Amino acid sequence: MSMIELPPDSQRLSIPDYAMALAHVASLRSEDPYRKVGAVALDFDNRVIGTAYNGLAPGYNASPEFWADRDARRSFMIHAEVNLCSLFTRGNVKLIACTTEPCTSCMQMLCAYGVREVYYRESYPGSEAAAICARYGIHLCQLENVTGLIQTSDFSSDSRI
């Protein structure tokens, strides 16, 4: 019996692209009408630890008035990275992918959890993630086009499922 030789699979996603695609799917579950953020954590064998997205505390049902004020909601939104870190312990995660660049506070938290690589798609204004990663030797990389797998229109703020 002879082995069938298959051509190299040029369509196979890289690990960062794979993680970003999963983070994108997680973002579709966000209840925030203004900014939907998804995140995923992979361990040192590239296995998925979990996915998370930004939202209010579990079980809290906000009124329509709450959502009407974009700025007032900010203090109450739990960032995707915070929800993600509730799924693992320090030293168990190698890679995080977030649809939005971690804010300064979340990047500090990811450092505390020992994350080694951080990938993001959209920049977050005012974030000091780049400086934090440079100082602590964490690989930070922006992935703007995830192999064309996900269309730009999928990222609009009003996309919901």
Which residues contact Zn ion by CB under 5 A? Answer: 79, 103, 106
Q: What are phi and psi of 38, to 5 degrees?
A: -120, 155
Which single residue brings its beta carbon nearest to Zn ion? 106
To which H or E segment does residue 27 belong? helix 15-27
> In this complex, which beta carbon is closest to Zn ion, that of residue 18 or of residue 120?
120
C-beta atoms surrounding 41 within 10 Å: 27
* 97: amino acid identity, one letter: A
**Cβ 78 to Zn ion, closest distance in Å?**
9
| Contact indicator for 115, 94 with CB cutoff of 8 Å | yes
120: CB partners within 8 A, 6+ apart: 97, 98, 99, 100, 101, 102, 129, 140, 141, 142, 143
Select 24 or 79, whichever has its Cβ closest to Zn ion: 79
Output 81 or 117, the one with its CB closest to Zn ion: 81
- Smallest distance, Å, CB 155 to Zn ion? 18
To Zn ion, the closest distance from the beta carbon of 109 in angstroms equals: 8
CB neighbour list of residue 127: distance below 8 Å, 6 or more residues apart: 101, 102, 103, 104, 107
> In this complex, which beta carbon is closest to Zn ion, that of residue 20 or of residue 106?
106
Closest distance between Zn ion and the C-beta of residue 48, in Å? 21
Return the number of the residue (79 or 94) whose C-beta is nearest Zn ion: 79
CB 103, min distance to Zn ion, A = 3
